[in-house]
Chains A and B, each alone.
Chain A
Amino acid sequence: MKTLMTGNEAIARGAYEYGVRLAAAYPGTPSTEILENLAKYPDIYSQWSPNEKVAMEVGIGAAIAGARTLVTMKMVGLNVAADPLFTAAYTGVRSGLVIVSADDPGMHSSQNEQDNRHYAAFAKVPMLEPSDSQEAKEMVGLALEISERFDTPVILRTTTRIAHSQSLVELNQPGERPLKPYAKDARKYVMIPAHGRARRLVVEERLQRLVEYAEGVSVNRMELRDREIGIITSGISYQYIREALPNVSVLKLGLTHPLPPQLIRDFASQVQKLYVVEELEPYLEKEIRALGIGVTGKELFPPYGEFSARLVKEKITEASQAKAVPFEAPVRPPVMCPGCPHRGLFYTLKQLKLVVSGDIGCYTLGTMAPLEAMDTCICMGASISGALGMEKAQPDLAEKVVSVIGDSTFLHSGITGLMDVVYNGGHSTVLILDNSITAMTGHQDNPGTGKTLMGKPAPKVDFAALARAVGVQRVSVVDPFDLEHSKEVIKAEVATKEPSVIISRRPCALIIKTHEPPVEVHDCTGCKMCLKLGCPALSFNEEKKTIQVDGALCTGCGLCVNVCKFNALRKAGVN
């Protein structure tokens, strides 16, 4: 039976068919749906971890304990999880361990465009790259097989177009879910230097065996057609080449670390002109050149952004096609939803003209007009530690800087920064935006929500108690819709010369099932003050010269009612 599946669904299906017993992840686009789908298979234990490093360590533990294991993350998540990965490459595994790294060429929803293929070479672990959903599924099986045969973690690297594109997948019955018996082996799993030095040699010897394996594995295949042009490629680029230039010869690499030198030489010798087509960095290209083989790659193709069939055709045939000129359309950026609790808070931060050290989540949209209340956003957790650096470097900033971080991001890597603020005598004010969910990636549970990925009830982290426990004396809770109170508390805490935490608490508007009736407009003066909130439900009617409320969008949150100085905006039924 064949079904249309995204790459992410196919990877989950692969885990189900090929005997995975445990899966762990932290959500991150474009990887999130793998575990969301895996949680539908009750035979597999799957969990959200507070961050990718924790997920990786849970995965390594499970593989050492004897279970086939899957760990998934977006590409920047592997930065967080790199530490355990690099040493797990030395210890090896007992049962298969597959790590999915979902990269994001084009930066559809990421803060950078790093090419995680380098991690495979850096950590000295094998890597597979699928070109469609069927391959994504099968490569979970192959990765587990390689992992067990060579005693190593294996990276399965996808990109957004693989993760989020649907193609047909043949479904098979699941195999067994074996659990190997555990046995202590300190020389292999306790990485003190003496043991590590021995394992270091194993890693090198393993890589040599993997090179031999790469020469013959079926996912590395030569497709010889017209010999005039030969292209070496992997991942989604393969599809673009087949679409654009169906007659050229292709060396399609599915196992892209380590590479098969003999196969590459062989292919190069059979074609007249050799190209390499790969999105992002010249990863394959450098390796091919290091073999002494002349190849054309990044002279033609950009090291950034996504490719397309058209780009491949234009660059290789040097024939540019006439392009239709697009109309000039105003952008439609993502915005904070109507009723979003973050809006009130950012409105207040803007009014107070504070320096805002930001973080990763829906609330990063606070940088957009009209709120524009954010100064920095680097990575998960950087808001708190970054603010400490700012105030230590520029003492004037101590009276002005606040850090803003969501509940899930705080648990991911904000808590360590908060300890740093307390320990090193920072004065900054930390705002934890607790909307009771991991919202940006599509509403996943986390240790603060009281529920697990598999739907079981769980204890909830008490943010106030946690802040006090690390030594924050001043902890307060505000409702971001209560603008006056929030403003007072923020002003007072910023002025205090000691660390403080303000928990801004209100659930995400999208997880609340029932909303208030839409706000009403009475005798509007047209001052447009409420438009400064940037609410998609409010607009100015140029003919009537008054504000109008889109009743289909308005959640009746009443934030605009609080901002209106003329009592023109009113909660439904209030005079």
Chain B
Amino acid sequence: MANNMNILLVGVGGQGTILASKILTYAALSQGYAVKMSEIHGMAQRGGSVVTQVRLGEHIDSPVIDEGEADMIVAFEQLEAYRWAHYLKGGGVLIVNTQKIVPLPVLIGLAVYPDNIIHRLREKVSRVVEVDGLRLAAEAGNARATNVVLVGILARFMDFPQEVWQEALKARIPEKLLELNKKAFTLGYDYPGVVAI
């Protein structure tokens, strides 16, 4: 990897963005990269919008990714993809889990959840991977493994060897959930939607 890589993981409190980022940083560190990661928590369990920023490369200064500077965005939810899309670089990859989690202002009728988000994203972003992560995770054995399905897709765009990811999963996931999550990772890694872009 010649240059630094900036990855944003965005979602809703409780979706497992933090575990996903821990798998990613473990893999990057074992590949010898410098890594910095920034997240704002405190409100994470209250269903708010959450973002984790991961930067890796030969040398990293700022732990924060500026607008228009992300090489990849992994969005765990459609509206969050929409909210953060302008952080993507030209030519960057946007992975969108098609799950919709309706925010409270929409639930109580004070705001509207935008229509056709994926379509609108595709109009501005050339490389969009759309995935029903919930379905793939359920196929692996538990819908809660959606985060690891998304890590599997992300892995396709990184040049780390497969073993590194397997090691990272082993290090970051409890033993009894490991097999299920390995399956979830593989379903993401082999996801046909990746090939199209």
Contacts and interface: CB of A to CB of B under 8 A. Distances in A.
Interface string A159-171: 0110011111000
B40 A160 contact: yes
Given A4-B29, A168-B35, A308-B64, A534 B108 contact: yes
Contacts of B171: none
B107 A4 contact: no
A166 B107 contact: no
Interface residues of B, number: 49
B86 A164 contact: no
Contacts of A331: 49, 103, 105, 111
B131 to A, nearest CB: 19
Nearest to B38: A165
Interface string A515-546: 00000000000001001101010111000000
Contacts, number: 156
A56 B53 CA distance: 34
Contact of A167 (B36, B42, B79, B104): B36
B48 A334 contact: yes
A110 to B, nearest CB: 9
User: For chain A, which range describes its interface: under 10, 10 to 19, 20 to 34, or 35 or more residues?
Assistant: 35 or more
Contacts of B114: 327-330
B179 interface: no
B138 interface: no
Nearest to A330: B111
B107 A538 contact: yes
Contacts of B112: 330
A309 interface: yes
Nearest to B110: A369
B37 A168 contact: no
A327 B62 contact: no
B84 to A, nearest CB: 8
B18 to A, nearest CB: 11
Given A166-B36, A308-B66, A326 B85 contact: yes
A109 B43 contact: yes
A513 to B, nearest CB: 15
B63 A165 contact: yes
A369 B107 CA distance: 11
Interface string A497-518: 0000000000000100000000
Contacts of A309: 61-62, 64, 66
Contact of A324 (B86, B102, B110): B86
Interface in A446-484: none
A442 interface: yes
Interface string A99-134: 000000000110000000000000000000000100
Given A4-B25, A168-B34, A332 B48 contact: yes
Interface in A321-347: 321, 323-337
B130 interface: no
Interface in B107-141: 107-114, 120
Given A4-B37, A166-B35, 17 more contacts: A166-B63, A167-B35, A167-B60, A308-B64, A308-B66, A310-B66, A326-B83, A327-B83, A329-B83, A329-B114, A330-B79, A331-B111, A333-B103, A335-B46, A335-B47, A370-B108, A442-B42
Interface of B: 12-13, 25, 29, 34-43, 45-49, 60-64, 66-69, 79-80, 82-83, 85-86, 88, 102-114, 120
14 contacts: A4-B35, A108-B43, A109-B43, A164-B39, A164-B41, A167-B60, A240-B64, A309-B62, A324-B86, A326-B85, A326-B86, A331-B103, A333-B48, A334-B13
